[in-house]
Amino acid sequence: MTHHPGPPADAGHTSHAPDPVPFGARLRAAMDARGPLCVGIDPHASLLTAWGLSDDVAGLERFARTTVEALADRVAVLKPQAAFFERFGSRGLAVLETAVAEARQAGALVLMDAKRGDIGSTMAAYASAFLDAGSPLFSDALTVSPYLGYGALSPALAAARESGAGLFVLALTSNPEGHEVQRAADADGRTVAETVLHHLAEENAGAEPLGSFGAVVGATLGDLSAFPLSVNGPLLAPGIGAQGATPADLPAVFGDAVHNVVPSVSRGVLLHGPDTTGLRDSAARFADEIRTALG
């Protein structure tokens, strides 16, 4: 039989890669499969010491690798805090690159906690570093600061849409100092936090099953019913564990938006290392408590 080759691949049409699955859809699937839990990777000096590690790049690498190996195949989200890697310079960033790649390869979504916020080309450069699929630090989502004006986040929003990544925008943080900015009101009485949340609701309008643009809202803040938390996007809720909040507090804090909450635990899990079983058991306990609290 004579083989007749078909037309060249580019004959008559242009092929292109399929659009990436948006972060919100991937997050919902991960939380449904693995439970709604985000575990921080925060290798600050006291935790390295608690693990019996040296406060240097070798200790950092051991800490990061142990945490990723213990948890990346079973928790929905891992959240490295960039500052604790950056403090060791280029070698610390190399450890961070490896941790991100290995965590994603094992199936965890990686939320880079870097809280970047700037204007114009500088914001675009931050977006390129963390939200460009070709970057060695590419993450599934990034924390960002809106306090140079929400519109200044435009380069990050555009980059996230293109790569299928997400953003978590600071809105109602748990630190006491945040109140003077986040709860400051304009002439119409709307607070800065409400303005941020309204913008996020607009970004996520029509997205199913969940938008990709979320807010950071502290789990320690008590009743937040005065704020429009139902933004059709995820709500990263730090403060569970060492900061004093418990999974049982979540329904009272988040109300109708509680099923979009991504509770975040760092020290509450990490203090059980470096034993792999201790890390896994602690994460599993938090995940079970959160499932129970959310019904």
Residue 76 lies in a domain: yes
Q: Is 50 exceeded by the pLDDT of residue 11?
A: no
Residue 141 lies in a domain: no
The model carries a pTM of 0.93
Q: What percent of the chain has pLDDT over 90?
A: 91
**Mean pLDDT score, 171-183:** 95
Q: pLDDT tier at 18 (50, 70, 90 boundaries)? A: confident
The 10s digit of each residue's pLDDT in 92-101 is 999 999 999 9
For the question of residue 115 being annotated catalytic, the response is yes
Q: How many domains does the chain have?
A: 1
**Mean pLDDT score, 211-236:** 97
Residue 278 lies in a domain: yes
Q: What is each CA distance from 120 to 131, 148, 169, in whole angstroms?
A: 16, 11, 17
**Mean pLDDT score, 86-91:** 98
Residue 6 lies in a domain: no
Look-up of token digits 């643009």: 213
C-alpha 46, offset from chain centre: 23
What b/e readout covers 185-196, taking b as 16+ CB neighbours within 10 angstroms?
eeeeeebbbbbb
The 10s digit of each residue's pLDDT in 32-66 is 999 999 999 999 999 999 999 999 999 999 999 99
Under DSSP, is residue 27 helix (H, G, I), strand (E, B) or coil? Answer: helix
Residue 196 lies in a domain: no
Could you tell me the residue range of the domain that residue 58 belongs to?
36-117+266-295
Residue 123 lies in a domain: no
pLDDT at 243: 76
Residue 289 lies in a domain: yes
Residue 175 lies in a domain: no
At 281, list the tokens: 């058991």
Q: Which of 44, 65, 104, 115 is catalytic?
A: 115
Cβ atoms of 114 and 130 closer than 8 Å = yes
Q: pLDDT tier at 9 (50, 70, 90 boundaries)? A: very low
pLDDT at 78: 98
Domain harbouring 294, CATH code = 3.20.20.70
Q: pLDDT tier at 295 (50, 70, 90 boundaries)? A: confident
